[in-house]
Amino acid sequence: MHQVAAEQRDTSAKHAPPACSGDSVWGVLRQARWNRHEIAGSLGDLGTFLPLLVGMAAQNGLDFAAALFFAGLFNIITGMFFAIPMAVQPMKAIAAVALTEGLLVSEILAAGATVGLVILVLGLSGLIDLLNRIVPQSVVRGLQLALGMSLLMKGMQMVAGTGQWFAADSYVTGLLAALIVLLLFFSRRVPAALVLFSLGLGLAIYQQPEILHALGLGLTLPRWTPLTWADFVSAFPKAALPQIPLTTLNSVIAVCALSADLFPERRAAPRKVAASVGLMNLVSCWFGGMPMCHGAGGLAGQHRFGARTNGSILFLGAVKMLLAVFFGASLMALCQAFPSSVLGVLLAFAGMELALVCRDQTSRTDAFAMLLTAAACMGLGNIAFGFLLGLGMAWCVQSDWLRVEPAE
């Protein structure tokens, strides 16, 4: 483990530009590099980004253009303040609950704004470290395992729901999509999610040729989306509560730790990352933007595909914003016609990626607490209650005063 981290640091130092003095925006921008490695690295996070965005647009009615616009905007803003390839990802807990429980768009946005406010307060006050100590990592991993398995089952149900073997949207299409993912699973050049997204768009046009008439240039900008108090009340227990510890651990604590391993001279500060997560959701969720965060998985994915500076996310952000502004309305129509078999495979493998992070719970006690939390979340059918029950059980299991020492 230490040898791998050392090799990653050596590789980062070799490809990274020299650190600039100061944290000014201009100083950060000067560190950006524009080459094929950075462009390839910008694709490293699409495996999570595309399935969840397309899924919420197709299944929940989330405004695809607005979500893509703000994802691109905050890619660019992130690239102006962080000199590393810091990814901008969907909030996975909110996305998983939205897809599996059918949340309204207003509930999705309210959940994102709530989490953004909580993380901003925790970060600026320094309480984020206290929350990280109170909530055991095993409980957060159990939450991720439950959400990942829920997405996996939802994806398989969508493929099974096609009800036919041979058609553009069928079992065979789903099997072909799964085969593509398996063949490209370890590829650092071709992201499987991008291939499947292109395949899905092609099949959507094949099934509904009239969509082609809607394609074309047209100015599309985000619009104000009013949220009510009832939206916040409804969204908090279902989606916001389980997202808070996940964002705290994965989007702040873990991403800062990983940045120190990969880019020791340009490591991210927890308070700065927390402020970034909080502010971007407090702004975007009032204009239809999906709940977003930074994530250790996204940073690792960008790095794995070749990104070493903020140039990768600046490039990706510009592409997202251009597509959203000039093709946004057209892409929304395509997402609504996206074949269920392909979308199901995308969601299934996104769920697997989310669940696979739980393999670091190797001790018997941690694995026990993780499985209890996951079982409670899935068995009760309520992520928030399952998380709280798992938290209580984990405290009991891990407390020293409950342990009975064997007689000598």
What residues does each domain of the chain span?
2-218+250-355, 362-398
Task: Identify the CA nearest to 363 among candidates 394, 323, 319.
Answer: 394
Mean pLDDT of 65-90: 90
Read off φ and ψ for residue 38, nearest 5 degrees: -70, -40
pLDDT in tens, 315-355: 989 988 988 888 776 777 777 777 888 888 877 877 777 77
Predicted confidence (pLDDT) at residue 28 exceeds the cutoff of 60: yes
pLDDT band at 218 (very low <50, low <70, confident <90, very high): low
Tokens of 311: 């140039």
H or E segment to which residue 293 belongs: strand 292-293
Q: What is the mean pLDDT of residues 175-186?
A: 82
Higher pLDDT, 202 or 382: 202
**pLDDT for the residue 101:** 85
Instruction: For the full predicted model, state whether its pTM sits above 0.85.
Output: no
**What gap in Å lies between CA 228 and CA 261, rounded to an integer?**
43
Number of other CB atoms surrounding residue 265 within 10 Å: 12
Task: State the Cα–Cα distance between residues 156 and 199, nearest whole angstrom.
Answer: 18
* Structure confidence at residue 22 as a pLDDT band (50, 70, 90): very low
- The pLDDT confidence band at residue 4, using thresholds 50, 70 and 90, is very low
Handedness of CA 386, 144, 270, 109 (dihedral sign): negative
Which helix H or strand E contains 38, and what residues bound it? helix 36-41
- Alpha helices per DSSP H over 102-218: 105-125, 128-134, 137-160, 171-183, 192-207, 211-214
Q: Cβ atoms within 10 A of the Cβ of 134, count?
A: 13
Q: Is the pLDDT of residue 15 over 60?
A: no
Question: In whole numbers, what is the pLDDT of the chain averaged over residues?
Answer: 79
**Mean pLDDT within 5-11:** 44
- Please give the distance of CA 129 from its chain centroid, rounded to a whole number: 22
What is residue 16's predicted lDDT score, i.e. its pLDDT?
Answer: 46
As a whole-number percent, the residues of the chain with pLDDT over 70 amount to: 87
pLDDT(297) > 60: yes
**Average pLDDT rounded to a whole number, residues 107-133:** 87
pLDDT interval class at 5 (50, 70, 90):
very low
Find, among 301, 316, 298, 317, the residue nearest to 39 by Cα.
Answer: 316
Exposed/middle/buried for 336, CB within 10 Å: 0-12, 13-18, 19+?
middle
Q: Tell me what the mean pLDDT of segment 17-46 comes to.
A: 68
Cβ-count burial 53-92 (b if 16+ within 10 Å, e if not): bbbbbbbbebbbbbbbbbbbbbbbbbbbbbbbbbbbbbbb
d(CA 107, CA 103): 6
Q: What would the pLDDT profile of 123-178 be if each residue is shown by its tens digit?
A: 888 787 777 677 777 887 887 788 778 878 888 888 887 778 887 778 888 888 88
The per-residue pLDDT for range 360-391, each reduced to its tens digit, is 777 788 888 888 888 888 887 777 777 788 78
